[in-house]
Chains A and B, each alone.
Chain A
Amino acid sequence: MKKSFLLFLIASFLASAASAQEDEVLIGLVAPLTGDQAYVGTGVLQGAQMAIEDAHVRGPLFGNARVRLAPLDDQHNPTQAVLAANKLASNPNVMGVVGHFNSSCTKPASAIYHEARITQITPASTNPDISRQGFDTFFRVCPTDDVQAPAAAAYVYSRMGLRQAVILDDQTTYGRGLADEFKKRFTALGGTVLIHHGITQGEKDFAPLLTKIKSIKPELIFYGGVYPELALLIKQSRKMGLKAPWMSGDGSFDVTLIKLASPQFAEGTTVTMLGVDPKSLPSAKDFVARYQARYGPIGSFSAYAYDATNVLIEAIRRAGVKDREAVLREVRAMKDFHGVLGPVNFDPKGDAIGKSIGIFQVQNGEFKFLEEVKPE
């Protein structure tokens, strides 16, 4: 009697748990929400939140399934990234993940999502090696550094007419990858790389390195990394009278760069960004307006996060069941998805097809769009 009562209790508990789960579909979002890159991470989170809210307006995905966002913080720390990925993988309601932000986090996490058959779409990780691991669950809506850095190198060589460069990077998966791809194309075009050195993230004093660079007299300094260190490098180099222009990639496309380096020193710094400025795109006009009304200034990667989240929502809607494999099949089959940054298409590796690179330059204290480099 006692035993059967216990069994009944367990059974009824399981049944109620199952019925409560049925209507909840989760999309994980992992980005640095605290720590020194919390600022960009928050922009990603807000972009994804808007996509979820838009989905709620359209009603349930299927049956009475409602989609919710499960935001997690990886502090741009690969160890935290793996913890977050495991947490999402063990939750059966998670049908997809938008993230992570930093390549150094996305890469180790991608193995866990692959194992768990969770579709992962990163809005921002550009290191080309991630999609070369052969994981069929990995996708990205942003172009890669083997598109971005060559575009930068070609711009420097052909349009700016510069031949002698010094390359620096922050020794991260992203920074080193970007710097290496820049070096490859720049030397292939006929340019000379005088030295290529790494710096440590979190370091403040670059005087010894910049003193050395000053004595080499480069025509350009390319930096692979994220804006806080670049801001210090720019400022310290100008203070010691090093005049060579600076160039960097999407990790430095942030207005905080100009503020930290101070506008007078940041002037003339060239930065490549994934795609063109969302504010200049007719397809993103409505999104940008709604975003700014709700959250304030739009983050550099908010539109990518919005598109990535929408791809996942659409795939779950089309799949019509709560099944990770079915969602994955739908993302794979997706053709010309209507994203605010233009049509979304993936190649067999999961990389975005047809994304162009925008060249921006700091002029009068703000990023000015110079030109668009179409994919080769």
Chain B
Amino acid sequence: MSLFLQQILNGLSIGLVYALIALGYTMVYGVIQLINFAHGEIFMVGGYLALTVILLFSLFFAQVPVWGALVAMIVFSVLGCALLGAVVERVAYRPLRGSPKLTALITSIGVSFFLQNAVMLIYGSKEQSVPPILPYHVFEMGAISFSLMQVIIFFTSIILMTLLTRFVKFSKTGKAMRAVSENREAASLMGVPVQKVIQATFVIGAALAAVGGALFALNYESINFHDGYLAGLKAFTAAVFGGIGSIPGAVIGGICLGVFESLGAGYISSEWKDVFAFILLVTVLIFKPSGILGEHLPEKV
């Protein structure tokens, strides 16, 4: 039983990271019906920015307390990725606003290759080790144990998701986002600045992915320019599973995917870990093609 709970906990911590990335997929899809395949790479860039901050701190500001470095790291990667998200939207997607959806989709794959190779050229192709900045503290609760990092992942993502939900529900930009996703033309006729809202969606999505990337880099202490691919694919699966376009759907999808993978790897076989993720997706799509909480039919990709 305790083994079972431990596996659920393992799945929860990776699932929350998937959820943070999935939110970006789902929000962008909700607003412009684009599957932004470059989103996984934004996550990876977030990890590298975090690594850069940690290295800078260990070189120049060694006296700064751990919490200061942690906050600086998150702020820096969030700002960096938000800027990157805005630039990608402006340079790669906005000129294609009127063109067929497939064009933008293929562009996003191109952007993904571009970012991967750019990072490879800047940081090198070797697996980079991220110096640990937090103590390896393990909390024991009966037979279950969890690390300090898992606690941080848990609280950070819960707080961010709550903030995001409130933002989308109550803020002016959030309301505008919902209006644009409901009907772009009508929203624009009502005076909603559609272009700005789309940009804001990319920026928020990228910022969430940046937090995910920073936490991921800190937790696994190793980072590679390839990391965005698999994580992005899993998060995309989570978004579709939860119902693409739905924010609570992305969170539920991410958590379910993480837990399901963890149980599959722990109880059946680890070589089937990815297979379980995709079996879950296929099963849901057969019985409920719009995903758990989705309303629209997903586009064929």
Contacts and interface: CB of A to CB of B under 8 A. Distances in A.
B89 interface: no
B64 to A, nearest CB: 22
B178 interface: no
Interface stretch (A113-121, A202-210, A331-339): A202-210
Contacts of B220: 204-205, 232, 236
B138 A239 contact: yes
B140 to A, nearest CB: 10
Contact of B138 (A34, A215, A241): A241
A205 B14 contact: yes
A345 to B, nearest CB: 35
Interface in A156-213: 168, 171, 197-200, 202-209, 211-212
Given A38-B125, A199-B271, A200-B274, A208 B222 contact: no
B265 interface: yes
A363 interface: no
B272 to A, nearest CB: 9
Contacts of A208: 7, 10-11, 261-266, 270, 273
Interface range, A side = 20 to 34
Give the interface centre of B129, B132, B270, B273 by most chain A CB atoms within 10 Å: B270
A239 B147 contact: yes
A231 interface: yes
A134 interface: no
Contacts of A36: 125-127, 224, 226
Nearest to A34: B125
Interface in B171-215: none
Contact of B132 (A241, A259, A262): A262
A39 B271 CA distance: 26
A204 B14 CA distance: 10
Contacts of A262: 129, 132, 221
B10 A259 contact: no
A260 interface: yes
B283 interface: no
B165 interface: no
Interface string A216-245: 000000000000100110011001110000
A35 B125 contact: yes
Contacts of A241: 138, 145
Interface string A21-39: 0000000000000111011
A242 to B, nearest CB: 11
User: Chain B contact residues: over half helix, strand or loop, or mixed?
Assistant: helix
Nearest to A207: B10
B10 A211 contact: yes
B127 A197 contact: no
B221 A38 contact: no
B216 to A, nearest CB: 7
B126 to A, nearest CB: 5
A256 interface: yes
Nearest to A235: B221
A204 B269 contact: no
A203 B216 contact: no
B136 A39 contact: no
B33 interface: no
A228 B230 contact: no
A259 B270 CA distance: 26
A38 B224 CA distance: 12
A202 B230 contact: yes
B135 to A, nearest CB: 11
A60 to B, nearest CB: 36
Contacts of B269: 197-198
Contacts of B147: 239-240
A35 B271 CA distance: 23
A211 B120 contact: no
B258 to A, nearest CB: 9
Contacts of B120: 34
A240 B145 contact: yes
B52 interface: no
A198 to B, nearest CB: 3
Interface in B255-301: 261-267, 269-271, 273-274
A31 B195 CA distance: 47
Contacts of A204: 216, 220, 222, 227
Contacts of A232: 220, 222
A197 B132 CA distance: 29
A209 B270 contact: yes
A260 B262 CA distance: 24
B265 A171 contact: no
Contacts of B229: 202
Interface in B113-148: 120, 125-127, 129, 132, 136, 138, 145, 147
Interface of B: 3, 6-7, 10-11, 13-14, 120, 125-127, 129, 132, 136, 138, 145, 147, 216, 220-222, 224, 226-227, 229-230, 261-267, 269-271, 273-274
The 6 A-B residue pairs whose C-beta atoms are closest, nearest first, are A198-B271, A208-B265, A207-B10, A208-B266, A209-B270, A208-B262
Given A202-B229, A208-B266, 6 more contacts: A34-B125, A39-B125, A212-B265, A240-B138, A256-B127, A260-B129
18 contacts: A34-B120, A36-B125, A36-B127, A36-B226, A38-B126, A197-B271, A198-B269, A199-B271, A205-B14, A207-B262, A212-B270, A228-B222, A231-B127, A239-B138, A241-B138, A256-B126, A256-B127, A259-B129
